[in-house]
Amino acid sequence: MRRKHVIFTAYSAENRMYIHQYKGWPNFTWNDRELSKLLTAVRYKQGRLLGKMEGLGFSLKKEATLQTLTLDVLKSSEIEGEILNPDQVRSSIARRLGMEVAGLVPSDRNVDGVVEMMLDATQRHNLDLSDERLFGWHAALFPTGRSGMYKIVVGSWRNNSKDDPMQVISGAMGRETVHYQAPDAELLEQEMKHFLTWFNSLSDFDPVLKAGIAHLWFLTIHPFDDGNGRIARAITDMQLGRADESTQRFYSMSAQIRVERNTYYSMVEKTQKGNLDITEWLKWFLVCYDRALSNTDQTLAKVMQKAKYWENTATANINDRQRLMLNKLLDGFEGKLNSSKWAKITKCSQDTAGRDISTLVEKGLLLKEAAGGRSTSYILNV
């Protein structure tokens, strides 16, 4: 069974044809007049953001890129219902970027695979996209050759028969709703050749619009047994890297799509059940992109807070365990920090944890919260 099960509430009106079945596919059309004001606004916001980030020091830009890529990987997987370990993702990215970050942890190969794909897309965005490169991404996503309980074809296009079509469905067995049916497997070679030729060629329209078109086009072809959504978002990031003319990432489109996941699925389905005019899809994509740019303020604020914190002379001469835990608190530690958690995370004894904490309290870097005794916990002094 090769059906991709997606659980969500989405637009599901019946349509006699899917977009790829129309004569003229894939010659998409859109209304430039309807998009021009929105496109001008997001390009202005993009330019301001990149200019603002360019004024930061090298280390701050690296930290912002690390934060953004970590968010991108986590949220792109989360859209598909896969929850990755944030520390593993951050560590995997930092190692591959050659960054010296305190508290790196080992990462699972499924984490490394998603990171490998994302970094290849964003750090090498100027290189052509090829079927071999996409096969490599797909193999990295599924290192065991399985997706859940299903064995899948890895490193090649799906080869399902016409009797077993690639469908996006939801609902319980027997009460399933088919949201979309992809082109037959026998058409994939030609479909992907056409897509890749277009993607690698110069376009006479805006590169941000091209990111939106590429995202929809790839999802519509749905060339793999699984992983199409994550690869589509990597392709989008690759094209947005071209639009930014930078390997550094300061905003996360995947994080914003995660926030708007239900609308995202609805817009994809509505467009795939529509005709070749994709104006409404591109409008939604640009609005989503605009919000992704706006939300970068949160990432930048966190990076600046960390930079200011580490400029404090009191942070000098602290050990690796202390640096690790202070960074965790700066990144948003979940729950209350006490000596037991400190010992467990840093893999040290309870006595050592107590001494580490006491030193930071004396330096004024940590504050003891009001409750004492066994409930004693600590917060950052910022």
Q: Do residues 31 and 154 share a domain?
A: yes
Q: Do residues 236 and 181 share a domain?
A: yes
Hey, what amino acid is at 270?
K
Sign of CA dihedral 224, 227, 231, 232: positive
- Nearest C-alpha neighbor of 361 from the set 333, 342, 335, 334: 342
Q: Do residues 34 and 59 share a domain?
A: yes
Is residue 295, in this structure, part of any structural domain at all? Answer: yes
Is residue 115, in this structure, part of any structural domain at all? Answer: yes
Is residue 308, in this structure, part of any structural domain at all? Answer: no
Indicate if the pLDDT at residue 3 is higher than 50. Answer: no
CATH of the domain at 341: 1.10.10.10
* Averaged pLDDT for residues 49-56: 86
Answer for the pair 118, 234: CB distance below 8 angstroms, yes or no: yes
Question: In whole numbers, what is the pLDDT of the chain averaged over residues?
Answer: 89
What percent of the chain has a predicted confidence (pLDDT) above 90?
68
Q: Do residues 281 and 242 share a domain?
A: yes
pLDDT digits (tens, 9 = 90+) for 294-318: 998 777 777 777 777 877 777 888 9
pLDDT for position 10 = 38
Task: Label residue 206 by pLDDT band (50, 70, 90).
Answer: very high
**Helix or strand (DSSP H, E) at 116:** helix 109-123
| Cα 370 to Cα 89, 163, 227, 351, distances in angstroms | 34, 66, 48, 22
| Cα 187 to Cα 158, 166, 178, 191, 352, distances in angstroms | 11, 12, 21, 6, 63
| Cα 86 to Cα 32, 36, 67, 134, 144, distances in angstroms | 40, 38, 10, 25, 22
Q: Do residues 278 and 322 share a domain?
A: no
Q: How many domains does the chain have?
A: 2
Q: Do residues 216 and 330 share a domain?
A: no
Buried b (16+ CB within 10 A) or exposed e, 127-164: eebebebbeebbbbbbeeeebeeeebbbbebbebeeee
Q: Do residues 279 and 318 share a domain?
A: no
Residue with tokens 């934060």: 67
Q: Of 300, 332, 363, which residue is a domain's last?
A: 300
Q: Of 258, 274, 300, which residue is a domain's last?
A: 300
What is the domain extent for residue 327? 313-380
Indicate if the pLDDT at residue 109 is higher than 80. Answer: yes
Question: Is residue 226 classed as helix, strand or coil in its secondary structure?
Answer: coil
Sign of CA dihedral 290, 233, 132, 222: negative
